[in-house]
Structure 1
Amino acid sequence: MLHILFVCTGNTCRSPMAEGLLRKLAKERGIHVEVRSAGVSAVPGTSISRHAAGILQDEGIQDRIVSSQLNGEAVAWADLILTLTGAHKRHLLQYFPDAVTKTHTLKEYVQTQESVNADIRELDSLYADAELNLALGTEPDAAAMQRMIEIRQRIPSFDISDPYGGSREDYELAAAEIRTALYSLLDKLESLRRL
């Protein structure tokens, strides 16, 4: 069974919606996954936002999701880590550089343009190497840093909009972005299952 971890900031809006929605949609398609979520700055045990809870309830999802802080146990548990923004991904890789091969933003993981995928793989590798160098007390390679800037300039944004503190409509828009990406994720998982 595939273990999928969604990561956002406080684990009260986007990642809990992604967790609940994926669990429901995967079950409907007969795809067996175990899903969790966490936040890079979460207060463990905090209830999800009322609008996120409302959206999940409207979908018939009765899961009781409370916030969790991202930690090494969650990263080790996950086969696939899907962040909701590039900043979340960079934060995760800063603290868990060994997770580079299984960490993606949700939108980048489901996009299909190979040239973009190649850029993302190269950027992730460069970023993980730079973080490792910093951790070891050495300066990152200047040419590698310049290459990271070049790649970032041509990669499209893969961020899911943050509804935190916004209206119900803001949450609906974020949920729609998430739902669209999850449909593509499930299509990808089904095609991988057939291989």
Structure 2
Amino acid sequence: MKLLFVCTGNTCRSPMAEALVRKRLPQVEVQSAGIFASDGSAASHQAVTVMEEAGVLFAHQSKPVTKERVEWADLILTMTEQHKQLLLEQYPHTAGKLYTLPEFTAEDAGASWKLLQEAYADLETKRVRFASGYQGDPNRFQSEFMQAHEREVAHIRELEAAMPATDIMDPFGRSVDVYRETLKELEFYVDKLAEKIHNEK
């Protein structure tokens, strides 16, 4: 498997994830890149500090996302939903291999999205029906519709709250303690990634 991690500047999150995968999954070919990265910038000193604390080899120079790197990868994992959407705009053909790291590793993400999409579709059908027979003040339509379908709206909010997180916290420019928290988050998801790759063999 060829795996590409993507973040913004390729000096914190994606290279940290890359280094963790190199240690945890030596059989996986892995690279990292940044959507707005330049070539050859050093990793942030806070990232170097926390990786050394964790005993992970971490020698890194930043690289930008390129067509060649995108084509090379069998799987592209971004740090945030925004990174994912930006890549989809530029490389729409990657849709089948492009996920956020939390999204890809969440066991129930697909089922959760399906339930949420069905609930949205059901509410939209009811909104169209409500609109067709609505005789009140047009300015009050939305609030009256929401009140009339309070239970459905509450259900959607519950589903949204239960959705797996899709973003890895950005520690850029913050304290070493924040970088430690980001590292813990990355370690959690890389462990889940390792389990998923192992189970798919």
CA distance 1:104–1:173, shift in 2 (3 Å):
same
Number of the residue aligned with 1:125: none
Q: Cα deviation per residue 1:87-117 (whole Å; 9 max; x = unaligned)?
A: 0000111100000100000000000114125
Pick aligned residue for 2:77 from 67, 74, 82: 82
CA distance 1:117–1:78, shift in 2 (3 Å):
farther
State the percentage of identical aligned residues. 38
Number of the residue aligned with 2:19: 20
Provide the TM-score with structure 1 as the length reference: 0.76
CA distance 1:120–1:39, shift in 2 (3 Å):
farther
Q: Which amino acid aligns with 1:112?
A: E
Deviation at 1:5, TM superposition (A): 0.3
Pick aligned residue for 1:115 from 111, 124, 127: 111
Q: Which moved more, 1:6-15 or 1:53-62?
A: 53-62
Provide the TM-score with structure 2 as the length reference: 0.74
Q: Work out whether 1:103 is the aligned partner of 2:98.
A: yes
CA distance 1:5–1:172, shift in 2 (3 Å):
same
Aligned residues: 159
Alignment gaps of 5+ in structure 2: 118-155
Alignment gaps of 5+ in structure 1: 122-149
Number of the residue aligned with 1:134: none
Q: Work out whether 1:186 is the aligned partner of 2:194.
A: yes
Partners of 2:76 and 2:97 within 8 A in 1: yes
Q: Work out whether 1:38 is the aligned partner of 2:33.
A: yes
Q: Which amino acid aligns with 2:180?
A: E
Query: Partners in 2 of 1:68 and 1:120 — Cα distance?
Result: 36
Structure (1 or 2) with the larger CA radius of gyration: 2
Query: Partners in 2 of 1:73 and 1:43 — Cα distance?
Result: 16
